[in-house]
């Protein structure tokens, strides 16, 4: 119960300590002892391009994307024991003491380039990966001066393969210069919201297997068009197939308030082939613009 203290001008609270202690003990025994402390948001610093790749990640505090002002970025920030990270991979870790773990929210709080393949699997649970408003978060295969850029360009950028009883959200992210900007497979349930998917070779967004994906307020541009150490596409090397958004297998989804432009192949494809017989994935379109693709909606009659 509470009462007003005239002398101090504050509300004071008298606690029935024995009863509350008993209630706490009952709750602990009833709910179990699982540590849910990792069901929280963690922050990721968007490291700037100075110092160059391969140089020290200890910098002048407060500079170069150093959000928490501790003088560390990149891997150094990952390993300092707090819940601010320098890479997306470390932020998504299932380490219950630090990473996002189950039901986690990974928020990129300063702009920068993340030259890493991002993998979201069953271990990540109901995870949200997003950039804060006004933050430019580029998941990019290419990082100037980094000798690993060539190898990364032959890999997908963001990979989601989660179980059907979990839900993944990807919001306000740029994914570019990969073979596939975003690949969703397995039984995943995913929302891709307000993202930009640019200059990926074979697919902008690829949805496979039994995955269910909603794509909202997203732009997919220039799939199949890229000049890099991985090759000159499509001038000297043919993309395979260069589709902007592709739903295959038994996947299904909704694409709304989005635009697909400049694809080497189809803007949006929802057809696959099995045993020489065609069937369509269940894909709905609502307020979608398709412009300057090699083909628009592949096989219009099936949408």
Q: Identify the CATH number of the domain in which residue 277 sits.
A: 2.160.20.10
6 is a domain residue: no
- What pTM does this model have? 0.82
Please say whether the beta carbons of 2 and 11 come within 8 A: yes
In sequence order, the β-bridge partners of residue 138 are 113, 174
* Element housing 70 (H / E): none
Give yes or no for a cis peptide into 54 (omega within 30° of 0). no
Q: What angle do CA 134, 138, 142 make, to 5 degrees?
A: 155
Instruction: Pull the structure tokens for residue 245.
Output: 């958004």
Residue from 150, 259, 147 nearest 198 by CA = 259
127 is a domain residue: no
Q: Any idea what DSSP says for residue 302? A: G
* Helix, strand, or coil (residue 23): helix
Q: Are residues 66 and 194 in the same domain?
A: no
Residue from 73, 83, 80 nearest 111 by CA = 73
Give residue 48's domain range: 38-110
288 is a domain residue: yes
* Helix, strand, or coil (residue 62): coil
Instruction: Pull the structure tokens for residue 158.
Output: 């963001």
Q: Phi and psi of 125, rounded to 5°?
A: 65, -140
Q: Are residues 179 and 101 in the same domain?
A: no
Alpha helices (H) along the chain: 17-31, 74-78, 88-91, 149-152
pLDDT in tens, the chain (303 residues): 433 333 333 333 333 343 333 333 333 333 333 333 445 688 999 877 655 555 567 888 988 888 999 998 888 888 888 889 999 998 987 655 556 666 788 999 999 899 999 999 887 778 999 999 999 999 999 887 788 888 899 999 999 999 999 999 999 999 999 999 999 999 999 999 999 999 999 999 999 999 999 999 999 999 999 987 778 899 999 999 999 999 999 999 999 999 999 999 999 998 654 555 555 678 999 999 999 999 755 443 333
18 is a domain residue: no
Q: Are residues 149 and 286 in the same domain?
A: yes
Distance between CA 289 and CA 257 in Å, rounded?
8
Q: Are residues 268 and 184 in the same domain?
A: yes
Please say whether the beta carbons of 179 and 205 come within 8 A: no
Tell me how many domains the chain contains: 2
């Amino acid at each position: 119960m509470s009462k007003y203290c005239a002398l101090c001008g504050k509300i004071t609270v008298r606690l029935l300590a024995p009863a509350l202690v008993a209630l706490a003990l009952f709750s602990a025994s009833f709910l179990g002892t699982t540590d849910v402390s990792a069901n929280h948001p963690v922050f990721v610093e968007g490291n700037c391009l100075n110092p160059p790749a391969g140089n020290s990640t200890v910098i002048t505090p407060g500079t170069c994307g150093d959000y928490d002002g501790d003088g560390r970025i990149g891997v150094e920030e990952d390993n300092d024991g707090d819940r601010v990270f320098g890479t997306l991979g470390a932020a998504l870790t299932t380490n219950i003491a630090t990473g996002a773990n189950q039901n986690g929210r990974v928020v990129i709080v300063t702009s920068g380039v993340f030259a890493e393949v991002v993998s979201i699997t069953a271990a990540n649970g109901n995870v949200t990966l997003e950039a804060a408003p006004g933050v430019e978060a580029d998941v990019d295969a290419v990082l100037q001066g980094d000798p690993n850029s060539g190898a990364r360009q032959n890999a997908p950028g963001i990979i989601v393969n989660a179980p059907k009883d979990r839900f993944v959200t990807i919001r306000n992210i740029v994914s570019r210069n990969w073979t596939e900007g975003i690949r969703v497979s397995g039984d995943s349930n995913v929302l891709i919201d307000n993202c930009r998917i640019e200059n990926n070779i074979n697919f902008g967004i690829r949805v496979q297997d039994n995955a269910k994906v909603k794509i909202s307020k997203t732009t997919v541009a220039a799939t199949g068009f890229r000049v890099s150490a991985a090759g000159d596409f499509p001038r000297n090397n043919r993309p395979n197939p260069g589709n902007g958004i592709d739903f295959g297998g038994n996947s299904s989804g909704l694409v709304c308030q989005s635009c697909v432009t400049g694809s080497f192949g189809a803007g949006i494809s929802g057809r696959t082939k099995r045993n020489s017989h065609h069937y369509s994935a269940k894909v709905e379109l609502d307020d979608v613009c398709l412009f300057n693709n090699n083909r628009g909606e592949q096989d219009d009659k099936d949408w």
